Amino acid sequence: MKQMIKPWRHVFKLDPDREIDDNALEAICMSGTDAIMVGGSSGVTYDNTVDLLARVRRYEVPCVLEVSNLEMVVPGFDLYMIPMVMNTADSMWITGHHQRAVDEYGYMIPWDLLVPEGYIILNPDSTVAQMTGAQTDLDASGAAAYAQVADKLMSLPVVYVEYSGSFGDMDTVKKIHQSVQTAKVFYGGGIHDAETAAKAAAVCDTIVVGNAVYDNLKQALLTVKAVK
Ligand SMILES: CC(C)=CCC/C(C)=C/CC/C(C)=C/CC/C(C)=C/CC/C(C)=C/CC/C(C)=C/CC/C(C)=C/COP(=O)(O)OP(=O)(O)O
Ligand SMILES: O=P(O)(O)OC[C@@H](O)CO
Ligand SMILES: [Mg+2]
C-alpha cells in the first residue's frame, strides 16, 4: 500500500477547514491528479475531515490524510502521512507528539498505512513555520543536509520541502533532490499555474498544490497537465 506514493507526480492538498463546492470537488478529483491529500495546519477537526473524506470517496482517486493533530484522525483513508519536522529545535514536532500518540493509541494504529514525512519548512511567514519554530534561515546546502538526515540516517520514505503560501527557491529544491538516495522529494508552496507547476516538477518527484485550488481553480487544474 505504501508503495502507492512512489509514482505520484501531482497531488492536490485540500483543507477540511475551507469550503469547496461539489462542482469544484468533482473537477479536482477527476483532474488526473495522482492523489488527494487532506490536511491543514489549523481548524481541522474530526467532523470537517470525515465530511471531506466522504465527499472525495465518490471518486476513484486515492485519498490520504496528513495528520497534524490527533482530533482529525478518521478511519478510512488510503494512507496516513505523518510529518516530522527536521529543521526545528522543538522536539515535540520531531518525535514528541508522535510519542504521545503512540503511547495513547498504539494498539489501534494501522502501522502498514503510516508514511512518515521528513518536513523541511522554509517559508518563515507561514503558519506552519511559526507554529513549529522552524529554523528557516538555511542555504541550499544546509537544507540538503537536513534532507540527507531524513533520507540516509532516518530512512524516511518522503522528504517534504514546504514553502506553504509562497513559491520557493527552486535551486534549493534541486539541491535537495540531488542529495537524497531513496526518499521521494515532495515540494509544496505557491504552485498556482502550469508554469510554476512545471518549474517545481523539474526539480522534485511530486508537486503538491494547495491554496491555488481555493484562489483560482481554473489555473490550479492546469497544474496537472503541466507535470504529466
Ligand atoms: C483507526 C485509525 C485510522 C487510526 C489511525 C491512527 C493514526 C494515524 C495515528 C497517528 C500516529 C501518529 C504517530 C500521529 C502523529 C501525531 C501528531 C500530532 C504529529 C505531529 C505532526 C506535526 C509535526 C505537525 C506540525 C505541523 C505540520 C508539519 C503539518 C503538516 C500540514 C501542513 C504543513 C499544512 C499547511 O497548512 P496550511 O493550512 O496550508 O498552512 P497555511 O495556513 O500557512 O496556508
Ligand atoms: O498551499 P500551497 O502554498 O500550495 O502549499 C501546498 C502545501 O505544501 C501546503 O502544505
Ligand atoms: Mg494552506
pTM: 0.97
- Residue 70 Cβ contacting ligand 1 at under 6 Å: yes
Note the helical H segments in the chain: 22-29, 46-56, 96-105, 127-132, 140-148, 170-179, 194-201, 212-215, 217-227
Q: What is the DSSP letter of 151?
A: I
Taking only the tens place, the pLDDT of each residue in 186-221 is: 999 999 999 999 999 999 999 999 999 999 999 999
Beta pairing class for 79-85 and 184-188: unpaired
What pLDDT sits at residue 159?
Answer: 98
Measured at the alpha carbon of residue 129, what is the angle toward residues 137 and 189, in degrees to the nearest 5?
90
What pLDDT sits at residue 35?
Answer: 98
Across the chain, mean pLDDT equals: 97
- Residue 209 Cβ contacting ligand 2 at under 6 Å: yes
What pLDDT sits at residue 41?
Answer: 85
- Residue 98 Cβ contacting ligand 1 at under 6 Å: yes
Taking only the tens place, the pLDDT of each residue in 41-94 is: 889 999 999 999 999 999 999 999 999 999 999 999 999 999 999 999 999 999
Comparing CA positions, the residue from 72, 73, 69 lying closest to residue 96 is: 69
Cell 520531531, residue? 94
Atom of ligand 1 nearest to the CA of 15: 38
pLDDT bin (cut points 50, 70, 90) of residue 1 is: confident
- Residue 211 Cβ contacting ligand 2 at under 6 Å: yes
What pLDDT sits at residue 8?
Answer: 98
pLDDT bin (cut points 50, 70, 90) of residue 106 is: confident
Atom of ligand 2 nearest to the CA of 209: 4
The closest ligand to the CA of 100 turns out to be 1
Q: How far apart are CA 115 and CA 5, in angstroms?
A: 9
Span between the terminal Cα atoms of the chain, in Å: 22
What pLDDT sits at residue 209?
Answer: 98
What pLDDT sits at residue 25?
Answer: 98
Q: How far apart are CA 185 and CA 109, in angstroms?
A: 25
Exposure string for 203-220, b = 16+ CB within 10 A, e = fewer: bbbbbbbbbbbeeebebb
